[in-house]
Structure 1
Amino acid sequence: MTQPTTRKGASRAADIPPDILAALERGELQSATLAECLALNQATLLRAVLPDLAPPAVRQAEAACQLGILKRMAGIGAVLFEELGPAGIARCQAHPSDTVRGWACFMAGMQPGPDLSQRLAAIRPLADDPHFGVREWAWMAVRPHLAADLDGSIALLAAWTAAPSERLRRFASEALRPRGVWCAHIAALKKNPARALPLLEPLKADTSAYVQDSVANWLNDAAKDSPDWVRALCLHWQQGEPAAATRRICSRAMRNL
């Protein structure tokens, strides 16, 4: 797996050097910022990295490129899964381009048939990808399936909270945020956030700031609908001599209260 780029990258699309954008669209370079990820022409990238794709599939993918970024990724993933099947997942997952690996996330997410445990097993290596963008696409790709079986998902993801990788521990929290970014809200967790305590409790003193921020954002989401619950939980967590990580999580969780 290609390691994440160490380029500083551009913070605005207008500032991306033409040679960098061209390399991104040839699949030779990973995006270093969200701006680069959003700016590249995915239709151009698709033709470069999958030149053997059938013309009708290319046209369908080009049509998906007219959509917003999440629907664009999902649409291209659907086209590729239809055209390449499960073997296409491994092909895209091994590619140096983070966007191509992002397509693999959605291909893995839309496989018909597998139960939740199999779906999570398929997405796990992508959830642990070195690139920040791929990790985001990973949870977005499976979130609809997780939300459809909330209790089953929470039970399975609870085991991820003990994973050695901070990326996987973060996935356990981030995938089921009540008001996740760029995705549909989960009404059941907005109404009753306590259902997710099997995920939040094990992470309340996580040593990774990457995980801490996710837990804090989870609670900040919940505070918009259940502020008293969030206050009570943070008060409970901070009794006695809480870890510095717990204090940081609670402070950030209640930043808008």
Structure 2
Amino acid sequence: MTEKRKGARSIKDIPSDILMQLNRGEIETANLTEWLAVDQRILLQNLLHQNGWGEYLNPILEKVDQLKKQTVNTINEAIGLGILDLVLINNDKEFLLKISTHQADLVRCWAAYTIGGNTSLTLNEKLKKIQHFASDHHFGVREICWMTVRPDISNNLAESISILSEWTTHTDENIRRFASESTRPRGVWCEHIQELKENPGLGLEILEPLKSDSSKYVQDSVGNWLNDASKSQPEFVVEICDEWLRESNTKETRCIVKKALRTIQK
């Protein structure tokens, strides 16, 4: 099982048979090193040929080649949007389902972009569909999926916060974490949400229910959310942290507050 593999610490140490299986889409990546090592062009070629869609390979690769900056994430997005085009042209929902549940995590990342990039879907529809990826067991899919809908969240902030606030009570910690991570004012590898940088109080509808969450994964996200906010609105963050410690002086809340104040207390 892939979950039992620790994975190599450097790309050069990845066994050739493992790298071959990764590029064929036969197994998942075990860690970030493997995730960065996968040749997405080869993986795409194998995926399309396996499904009889080899003729679509070059048009998608052309989009990849046109990227000014080629990183794992930009290539991931270009391929995902390229797959969306061919799915829409062929109206092939079966293929969409197949890649959404594919054993290769990077293929599932591509599938997430077919949701985020689908302009025919409303915000509510996108978030409903992306929740499947938010609960994925693989770290890479969970990180990519919130990035695919981040522009929609930023452009429809009030509606997004209203929807995502309901996710904060979900039994799945990954889904609760998505609500926080996807709305971080600054975030990682993404555009900032200016509205939340200037007025982070808008996000309290999401943050308040998570202020003493039992999951370390969620705690880290909430702490990082507030740390983002502290870089533009430090007084707000100090006040919220003081208030939370008065109302909920648990080890979980203290963990969040410590992470939230790390920039201010340097």
Taking structure 2 as the reference length, the TM-score comes to 0.91
Which residue does the alignment assign to 2:61? 62
Runs of 4+ in 1 over 4 A off after TM superposition: none
Which residue does the alignment assign to 1:26? 24
Contact 1:190 1:225 in 2 (8 A): yes
* 1:78 aligns to 2:77 (yes or no): no
Aligned counterparts of 1:116 and 1:82: Cα–Cα separation in 2: 19
Shift of 1:18: 1.7
* 1:213 aligns to 2:220 (yes or no): yes
Aligned counterparts of 2:2 and 2:11: Cα–Cα separation in 1: 20
Aligned counterparts of 1:145 and 1:10: Cα–Cα separation in 2: 36
Say which of 86, 106, 118 aligns to 2:113.
106
Contact 1:108 1:119 in 2 (8 A): yes
Aligned counterparts of 1:240 and 1:155: Cα–Cα separation in 2: 24
Aligned counterparts of 1:244 and 1:253: Cα–Cα separation in 2: 14
Deviates more, 1:130-139 or 1:112-121: 112-121
Which residue does the alignment assign to 1:230? 237
- Alignment root-mean-square deviation, CA: 1.5
Shift of 1:14: 2.5
Shift of 1:54: 4.1
* 1:251 aligns to 2:258 (yes or no): yes
3-state DSSP class of the match of 2:254? Answer: helix
The number of residues matched between the two structures is 254
Distance 1:68 1:201, change over 3 A: same
Matches within 5 A, 1:42-191: 42-51=40-49, 52-55=52-55, 57-63=56-62, 64=64, 67-85=70-88, 87=93, 88-191=95-198
Deviates more, 1:129-138 or 1:235-244: 235-244
Contact 1:177 1:221 in 2 (8 A): yes
Deviations 1:68-95 (A, max 9, x none): 2222111101110111236132121111
Query: Could you tell me which amino acid in structure 2 is paired with residue 165 of structure 1?
Result: D
Q: Percent identity?
A: 41
Contact 1:4 1:130 in 2 (8 A): no
Contact 2:48 2:57 in 1 (8 A): no
Contact 2:48 2:54 in 1 (8 A): no
Distance 1:241 1:78, change over 3 A: closer
Which residue does the alignment assign to 1:195? 202
Contact 1:43 1:61 in 2 (8 A): no
3-state DSSP class of the match of 1:120? Answer: helix
Unaligned stretches of 5+ residues in structure 1: none
Shift of 1:240: 5.2
Taking structure 1 as the reference length, the TM-score comes to 0.94
Contact 2:212 2:248 in 1 (8 A): no
Aligned counterparts of 2:176 and 2:16: Cα–Cα separation in 1: 37
Query: Could you tell me which amino acid in structure 2 is paired with residue 68 of structure 1?
Result: T
Aligned counterparts of 1:191 and 1:12: Cα–Cα separation in 2: 40
Deviates more, 1:35-44 or 1:10-19: 10-19
Deviates more, 1:151-160 or 1:217-226: 217-226
Contact 1:89 1:108 in 2 (8 A): no
Aligned counterparts of 2:155 and 2:85: Cα–Cα separation in 1: 23
